[in-house]
Amino acid sequence: MTVFGPTKRGVNYPDYVQPKPRAPFTLHQLEDRIRTCTHCPPGTKELGWGYVNQIMFIGQGPALSNTDGLRGTSDFDKFFIPLVLKAKINKPNFYFTNIVKTPVSRVTQAMITHGGTHVKDEILIVKPKIIIALGAYASSWADTVGLRCRRMVHPSATRYGSISEDEWVKQLVVLTSKFINKLYARHREGLPQQEE
Ligand SMILES: [Zn+2]
């Protein structure tokens, strides 16, 4: 299996993708495809949100309370975003998405396999510099598809006491500080924030 994901030269494509015929494929086109997808679990989907060419977080699924498909303002986001900011990652420096697009009370392997096809498309379009899989579902999916990424305990673990918020933030800093410091350096020098 070819490893895919961010590399120094851009994004490696997964085996099944034929990059040329699919381009130009925009984020809006992908969102329309996901919104109308009948293979996802039924319900209002929460689509990915954030900025391209930055850090991409892959979570497992929308909060059960997020029945409106809110992006960036759900109950989960209200505690997730402050943790990310504490790691000195500003909002324009990340993109967030979930493997499963609809809130479900129980995630199945079939949901992960299917949702993962949407996430692969997102990776190709968003072209993240760093991908961080959050939690066991995202990590095991990454293993299955050969995604080059970093892994973290899901941030919800900070709410159940298995890891402190400070420790979680510390781990995030370790995984991202090189990228973020480079961005800040470019900012200080008045250079464009994106390399490409
Ligand atoms: Zn789907």
The span from the CA of 77 to the CA of 155, in Å, is: 10
Q: Which two tokens stand for residue 155?
A: 């941030």
The span from the CA of 123 to the CA of 127, in Å, is: 5
The span from the CA of 169 to the CA of 165, in Å, is: 6
Three-state secondary structure call for residue 173: helix
Inside any domain, residue 160: yes
The span from the CA of 63 to the CA of 176, in Å, is: 25
CA of 26 to the centre of ligand 1 (A): 17
* pTM exceeds 0.85: yes
Q: Please report, in tens digits, the pLDDT of each residue of the chain (196 residues total).
A: 566 777 777 777 666 555 554 545 789 999 999 999 999 999 999 999 999 999 999 999 998 999 999 999 888 999 999 999 999 999 999 999 999 999 999 999 999 999 999 999 999 899 999 999 999 999 999 999 999 999 999 999 999 889 999 999 999 999 999 999 998 888 888 776 555 4
Report pLDDT for 187.
81
Inside any domain, residue 83: yes
Inside any domain, residue 133: yes
DSSP class of 12: E
Distance, C-alpha 27 to centroid of its chain: 14
Report pLDDT for 186.
84
CA of 38 to the centre of ligand 1 (A): 6
Inside any domain, residue 167: yes
Which CATH number goes with the domain that contains 113? 3.40.470.10
CA of 36 to the centre of ligand 1 (A): 8
User: Which DSSP string do the residues of 151-165 spell out, in sequence order?
Assistant: EE--GGGGGTTSS-H
CA of 110 to the centre of ligand 1 (A): 11
Report pLDDT for 3.
67
Report pLDDT for 23.
44
The span from the CA of 125 to the CA of 123, in Å, is: 5
